[in-house]
Amino acid sequence: MNSIWPSFSIHRLNRQTQSAYWTGEVRPQFGRFRIEIRYRLGDVPHARVLRPALIRLPGNIEGQLPHVYPPADDPTLCLFDPATNQWDPSMTIATTTVPWACDWIACYELWLMTGRWTGGGRHGSAVPGLSALA
């Protein structure tokens, strides 16, 4: 991770639970965003924006904050469709999850300007243990 994304730091590597999480700053388009990525071996990675706070657009046809999973006060970004096996454990976080999070943020910034989600995907895709948040 550090060789591709030097702004990212690992904060906890837990050998017992085989999990880790990283935080780092990215600037996909206009703003700087601090993100966190959590991963447990055998699971899918989970990414969220730590700051700035994500803005919601109540009443928006795409949903108040599209392509995220609950909880509403701390949503996980919907970066891929697990039902179509877009992620598998042979992939690296640095070459998939971080770029996908950057793409999500770029789509989010455009959505804030236009009210339209241009990132593709499908609303309502499910990650085991999570439900989509409209």
Asked whether residue 129 is assigned to any structural domain, the reply reads no
Is the model's pLDDT at 127 over the cut of 70? no
How large is the average pLDDT for residues 98-123?
90
Asked whether residue 70 is assigned to any structural domain, the reply reads yes
State the pLDDT at residue 132: 36
Question: Which tokens hold the place of 133?
Answer: 């948040």
Asked whether residue 40 is assigned to any structural domain, the reply reads yes
What predicted TM-score, i.e. pTM, was given to this entire model? 0.85
Which of the four pLDDT bands, split at 50, 70 and 90, describes residue 84? confident
Is the model's pLDDT at 133 over the cut of 50? no
Asked whether residue 25 is assigned to any structural domain, the reply reads yes
State the pLDDT at residue 72: 77
pLDDT digits (tens, 9 = 90+) for 108-118: 999 999 999 98
pLDDT digits (tens, 9 = 90+) for 55-65: 999 998 888 99
How large is the average pLDDT for residues 29-46?
92
Number of domains in the chain: 1
Asked whether residue 67 is assigned to any structural domain, the reply reads yes
Asked whether residue 93 is assigned to any structural domain, the reply reads yes
100: which residues sit within 8 A by CB, 6+ positions away?
A: 47, 79, 80
Asked whether residue 123 is assigned to any structural domain, the reply reads no
Measured CA to CA, the distance from residue 21 to residue 38 in angstroms comes to: 4
Measured CA to CA, the distance from residue 41 to residue 52 in angstroms comes to: 29
124-130 own/partner pairs: CB under 8 Å, 24+ apart: 125/78, 125/81, 125/82, 125/83, 126/82, 126/83, 127/44, 127/46, 127/69, 127/76, 127/78, 127/82, 128/44, 128/82, 130/69, 130/70, 130/76
How large is the average pLDDT for residues 12-24?
87
Asked whether residue 95 is assigned to any structural domain, the reply reads yes
Domain with 81 in it? 9-114
